[in-house]
Structure 1
Amino acid sequence: MNGLLVTGTDTGIGKTIVAGGLAGALRERGIDAGVCKPLQSGHLTVDPEGDAARLQALAGVDDPLDLICPYSFEEPLAPLVAMRRAGVSLTLREIEAAYRTIADRHSFVIVEGAGGLAVPYAENSLVADVAVRLRLPLLLVARPNLGTVNHTILTVEYARQRGIEVIGVILSGLGSGPIGVAEETNPGLIEEWARVPVLGTVPWLGERFEASAVRRTIAECVQLETIMSRFQLKAI
């Protein structure tokens, strides 16, 4: 299966914008990219404010929401906690089956995790275990401001300990606060100390945004050619 898993250094970091926008930008280049959010907490799948619905809109895919995200829980908690409070038990087997359903419909799939790499996700499983099970490399989304170097290095090092490849980092939300020396120097520090490329910096797009604007921003601000080359994706 050809794809990647988008994770973050924190929750609310911009993973959905990056994952959906990247899929949409690739699709505009003629690449058959799909999106998958196997498990979602905080919104039910059908909620238009939820990650699954936003992924669908940003990517511009016609896959049904219940295929993009077959498992959802309304409480805004770690997925495992929300799942248990709903009286549901899911394992990596169900998560893998959800991914493969989407993978059978597309030549490339972008999977969005939940929170960070060490978030409890399913029974006996962290988000990292999902990446290992699906054999997917990571695209790490991080914030651009002070403190992000520490969080990014820790996440990258943990991924390496688990044998997971990190193809790069995307900084998300530049401009939501003041831009100073930290924001200007963080990309270089991340590349120097985490030893992974920073593939782009995505500006703050506000609370409300149009899907076309997100796709355009991703195409302008992210090194799409590098990602396409890594996965041998050919534009049409």
Structure 2
Amino acid sequence: MFKIMIIEDDATIAQLIAENLEKWDLKAYIIQDFNQVMPEFTAAKPDLVLMDINLPVFDGFHWNQKIREVSQIPIIFISSRNTNMDMVMAMNMGADDFVNKPFSMEVLLAKINALLRRTYDYQDSNANFLEHNGLKLNLQNGDAQIKGQTINLSKNEYKLLQFMMRQHGKIISRDRLLRELWDDERFVDDNTLTVNVNRLRRKIEKAGIEDYIVTKVGQGYLIP
């Protein structure tokens, strides 16, 4: 799940954005202390930043510059300061987009998803397929394809593969996978997850891709 950091001092706007992000399976992190923006940024490790220009202590341009000193993650400014000079400054300082207040939530979410797709090869939940490293997952019928060969997946194998493909490049703990696959993981034998992962892995290997799902001992699973 991608994490979006919201640097916005209007609590109502920040909360509204956060609630809409969650609906799109995006995790929201709202800055709490405007004296500690960089420490919070470092600790949260967001995948994208939404930032106002007018902020307490230092303005958004200052924090944009500080973030760019350590990271190239996407940054979108959201501001009522909509002069051409503000937009030019934002872009020249390394921001990726600028959204004027008041803004359409649909437009903002579309811009966020577009930036995530371009930056992380991420496919949003409205797409018909997920593709990564030679495997194509059909989100309509639950089948996977490798080199033209169709792989029939069980319901749990499909849910497992879809979730892991959306998180490719990140280690996913066994507990997280249990929560994603079953409504109440307390009543699921931990071995059931192992069985599902191994069965899925064998199907993918039989179709021609070795080591598509990697086990990280003591940490979980990873699709590189």
Q: Which has the higher contact order (CA 8 A, sep 6+)?
A: 1
TM-score, length-normalised on structure 1? 0.41
Larger radius of gyration: 2
TM-score, length-normalised on structure 2? 0.42
